[in-house]
Every structure is written in C-alpha cells, then in structure tokens.
C-alpha cells in the first residue's frame, strides 16, 4: 500500500507540473527584444536585444531642463517627459527618439509645456525621427523594417503647449489639453500672447503614436495647444497615428509642408478658433482613417475673432479614392487651392427643426461669408446636420433650399493642391512607396 501511495503521489506531482507548463507559457517578455512574445507569461531568458551601433541608448523620464539630444545616441522616453518652463530642449539633425509602450497615465509622450521651447531642426538628409521602442530603425537610417502603416498606438506623441489665445469655455482663457488630468499642471495651455514662441521644429517624422489614454481618447501625433506665431513649424510628417495626425487647439502658429498619412482618425484637425495658416499640406488616408480634414470654430465666447487658412493642400485615400473635409461647429476661415473629395458643411436647427441655428453653413451662405472656398477642387458640396427635434427623438432633415444655397456659393474648380515633391526622400511615406 505504501508503494502504491508513493506512485499515486508521483503521478499527481507530474500532472501538476504538466498543467503548470501549459498554463504558464515561457518566452521573451521584454517588448524591446526582437523575439518578444506577447503571449509569454514568464521570461525564459532567451530575449535578444539589438545593440545600437555608434552610440548609446539614453533613457528619459519625468521633468527635464535645458539639454541637447545628439544623433549618435538613441533616446528612449518612458512615460511623459516634460520640458520645464524657461528651458529649451535642442535636438540635433538625424536624432532618433523611441518611446516605450504604455496606456492611460503611463503613455509615453514628449511634452513642451507653457514657457518651454523645443529647437528640433533636422534636414532633408537627416530628419529627426520620433517612433516606437518596437521600431528596429537604427541611427543613420530613414526607416526600420519591422513596422508598417498598420502599426498604430504604440506610444503617445509630441505635445507643444503655449500662451496664445484659444476659445475654450465661456470666460476661460486657459484650458487643459485633452487626455491630461487636471492634476498635471503641465497640461495647461492658452493665454493672450499672439506672438508666443515655443521654438522651432523642422524636418521631423512622428511615427506609430496615438496610445489610448482613456475610453475613446488617444493622443494626437502632434498636438499644438495655444501655440503662438513666434513658433516656427515646417516639414513635418505624422504617420500611423491611432488618433488625429495633427490637431490645432486654438493658437496662432503657422505650419507649412505638413504630411499626415494612415492615421486612425482625422488628418488635420482644427479646434478652439485656431488663427493661423496651414500651407502645402497632404493627408493620405488609410483603411481605418476618418475625415482628412475636420475643421471646427470657437468653443466659447472668450475669443471668437480668429480665422484659419488652409492653402495649397491635397487629401486622398491611398489607392486613389477620395477623402473628405468636414467643416462644422461654426468653422470660420478660408480654403484656397485645396483638392479633396466631398466637402461636408454642417447646418444646425432648433425649435423642432423649424428654424436655423448658427453653424458652418450659416457662415458659408450669409451675405458677408466668413467661411469661404476659392480655387479649390472637390467632388461634391454636401450639407448635413446633427440636430434633432426638441424631444431628442427624431433627426432633423436638411431643407433642399439649404443644399441649393451651399452649392450656389461653392464652385469646384481645378486646383493644383500641394507640392508632393516637398516630401520626397526624407519621409517615411516616400521611402516606403506610400506617397
């Protein structure tokens, strides 16, 4: 009997070990390794970490002051890296910045807070690249080989916040950038300094960002909150971002030579009464993109006299199909020499849908319009509404006269749009044949 009991115990132990082996898969659990196994629950010591030639990997986290990031190193962001007020982050041409994964409050992002500056000036032969830690790109390269346009949301993004005017809630001159809790005081933006200077950014490629920071809330590839026109922004690429490519929350900064590709939401998004010019821009929608252009006006009564300008732009879906522009929420500004698919104009109604309410359609069709399209090419001008009856049960219907009125002031003409050659050679889209 003793012998049989021992054998039975050995059998139980063996079965337990077998179960443990199948329920706790071993493998490489380090996401920075080339053989990372996301299904592995226990590390088995087999991780292969690629070494970075000709330099070091430098970790960055938390608050930083004035410093220079150089091209012989790779800089790794862990969580939010915040440049403090009164300090300047300088990034040399050809520098690669990689960001660790994370979501919610742990999402990695580079934040230039109010009063801080970023001087990140690359060149066409040596662009500055922000990407994911999972990207196998190395110093001196323009692209890695293991990530595609489908790889979105692998880190946060680049956030620049300034003191220029914004239209937030009534009476407010300051706001908190979306996705940052109010306890993060470095998330504040807005003010009254039209000429505020947050630095210089040129020849920068921002890749694979847009990490989830809340339910349905992701970080834009490039977020510009209350950035003033003392700031210089040109030659910027944002690709494979899970949320918008670039979003302007008010401010007065101009931006030129902007390329957004394969984003999960909108390409160029304008909010809070942005008063600046976006010129020579392209948006290349992917399979899960929303609108190429989403253009809103003021959100409150504090600052309502700013007008955006979109000039010399081309938007389309990769493969040649059209991409739309959506003009809503009292959008006010000018669109000139822009090529797009459908131009959507929102109208609003009240009193059980019987009476008009001020919206983008109003500004387009009034006697002295403040939403204008000149020399632009589009497949259709379509008026739509999100209004409902007073009970909130039935959707309002756009009167035929309103559609006719919009068509009467919007005439599609042949446009040249953006100069795509501006993006040749240095962008991810160009190098990977997606331009």
Q: pLDDT band at residue 98, thresholds of 50, 70 and 90?
A: very high
Whether 14 shows a pLDDT value over 50: the answer reads no
Between 14 and 425, the higher pLDDT residue: 425
Residue 169, pLDDT score? 84
Count H helices and E strands in the chain, helices first. Answer: 4, 31
Q: Dihedral of the CA atoms 262, 264, 267, 269 (nearest 10)? A: -170
> For residue 388, what is the DSSP state?
B
Domain-located, residue 369: no
Mean pLDDT of all residues in the chain?
A: 91
Confidence at 27, pLDDT banded by 50, 70, 90: confident
Residues 11 and 123 in one domain: no
Residue 310 and residue 248 in one domain: yes
pLDDT > 60? residue 19: no
Count: domains in the chain: 2
CA distance 251 to 356: 30
Same-domain pairing of 23 and 73: no
Give the tens place of pLDDT for each residue, 322-333: 999 999 999 999
- The pTM of the full predicted model, rounded to 2 decimals, is 0.87
CB 252 within 8 A of CB 164: yes
| Whether the Cβ atoms of residue 47 and residue 35 lie closer than 8 Å to each other | yes
The DSSP annotation for 244-299 comes to -SEEEES----EEEEEEES-SS-SEEEETT--SEEEEEEEEE-TT---SEEE---S
Residue 321 is predicted with a pLDDT of: 85
89, 83 Cβ separation under 8 angstroms: yes
The burial of 21, by beta-carbon neighbours within 10 Å (0-12 exposed, 13-18 middle, 19 or more buried), is given as exposed
pLDDT band for position 15 (50/70/90)? very low
Residues 15 and 70 in one domain: no
- Say whether both 85 and 233 belong to one domain: yes
The answer to whether residues 6 and 108 belong to one domain is no
Is residue 214, in this structure, part of any structural domain at all? yes
Q: What percent of the chain has a predicted confidence (pLDDT) above 70?
A: 90
Half-sphere exposure of 40 (CA within 13 A, CB side): 16
- For residues 211-236, give the mean pLDDT: 90
pLDDT of residue 186: 96
What pLDDT score does 54 carry? 44
Average pLDDT of the residues in 151-173: 95
Structural domain range at position 39: 2-43
Q: Is residue 346 part of a domain?
A: no
Same domain, 26 and 111: no
- Helices marked H in 376-415: 400-409
Using CA atoms of 50, 201, 148, 278 in order, give the dihedral in degrees to the nearest 10: 180
**What mean pLDDT comes out for the span 46-73?**
82
In a domain, 106, yes or no: yes
> Nearest 10 degrees: CA dihedral of 336, 383, 318, 202?
40
More confident residue, 262 or 38: 262
- In order of 294, 362, 383, 394, the CA distances from 397 in angstroms are 22, 16, 10, 9
Judgement on whether residues 229 and 178 belong to the same structural domain of the protein:
yes
The answer to whether residues 191 and 298 belong to one domain is: yes
Banded pLDDT at 215 (limits 50, 70, 90): low
For residue 310, pLDDT over 50 is answered with yes
Q: What pLDDT sits at residue 245?
A: 98
* Residue 55 pLDDT: 64
Would the pLDDT of 42 be above 50?
Answer: yes
Q: What is the mean pLDDT of residues 86-96?
A: 99
DSSP single-letter state for residue 100: -
């Amino acid at each position: 009997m003793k012998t049989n009991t021992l054998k039975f115990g050995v059998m139980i132990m063996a079965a337990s070990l077998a179960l443990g082996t199948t329920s706790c898969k071993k493998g490489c659990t380090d996401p920075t390794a080339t053989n990372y196994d996301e299904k592995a629950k226990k590390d088995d010591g087999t991780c292969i970490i690629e070494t970075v030639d000709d330099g070091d990997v430098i970790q960055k986290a938390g608050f930083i002051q004035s410093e220079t990031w150089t091209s012989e190193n790779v800089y790794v962001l862990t969580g939010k890296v915040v440049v403090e007020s009164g300090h300047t982050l300088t990034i040399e041409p050809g520098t690669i910045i990689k960001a660790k994964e994370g979501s919610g409050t742990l999402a990695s992002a580079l934040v230039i807070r109010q009063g801080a500056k970023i001087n990140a000036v690359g060149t066409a032969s040596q662009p500055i690249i922000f990407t994911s830690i999972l990207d196998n790109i190395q110093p001196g390269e323009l692209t890695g080989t293991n990530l595609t346009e489908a790889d979105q949301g692998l880190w946060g993004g680049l956030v620049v916040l300034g003191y220029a005017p914004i239209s937030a809630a009534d009476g407010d001159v300051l706001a908190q950038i979306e996705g940052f809790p109010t306890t993060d005081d470095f998330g504040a933006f807005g003010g009254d300094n039209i000429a505020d200077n947050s630095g210089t950014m040129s020849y920068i490629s921002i890749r694979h960002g847009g990490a989830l920071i809340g339910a349905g809330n992701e970080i834009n590839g490039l977020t510009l909150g209350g950035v003033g026109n003392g700031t210089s922004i040109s030659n910027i690429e944002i690709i494979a971002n899970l949320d918008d490519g670039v979003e302007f929350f008010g401010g007065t900064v101009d931006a030129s030579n902007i390329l957004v590709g394969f984003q999960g939401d909108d390409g160029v998004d304008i909010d809070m009464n942005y008063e600046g010019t976006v010129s020579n821009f392209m948006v290349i929608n992917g399979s899960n993109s929303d609108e190429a252009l989403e253009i809103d006006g003021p959100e409150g009564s504090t600052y309502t006299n700013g007008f955006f300008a979109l000039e010399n732009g081309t938007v389309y879906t990769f493969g040649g199909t059209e991409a739309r522009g959506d003009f809503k929420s009292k959008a006010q500004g000018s669109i000139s020499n822009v090529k797009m698919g459908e131009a959507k104009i929102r109208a609003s109604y009240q009193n059980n849908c019987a009476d008009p309410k001020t919206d983008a359609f109003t500004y387009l069709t009034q006697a002295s319009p403040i939403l204008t399209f000149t020399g632009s090419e589009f497949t259709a001008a379509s008026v739509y509404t999100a209004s409902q009856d007073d009970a909130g049960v039935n959707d309002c219907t756009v009167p035929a006269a309103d559609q006719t009125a919009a068509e009467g002031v919007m005439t599609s003409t042949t446009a040249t749009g953006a100069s795509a050659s501006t993006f040749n050679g240095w962008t991810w889209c160009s190098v990977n044949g997606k331009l």
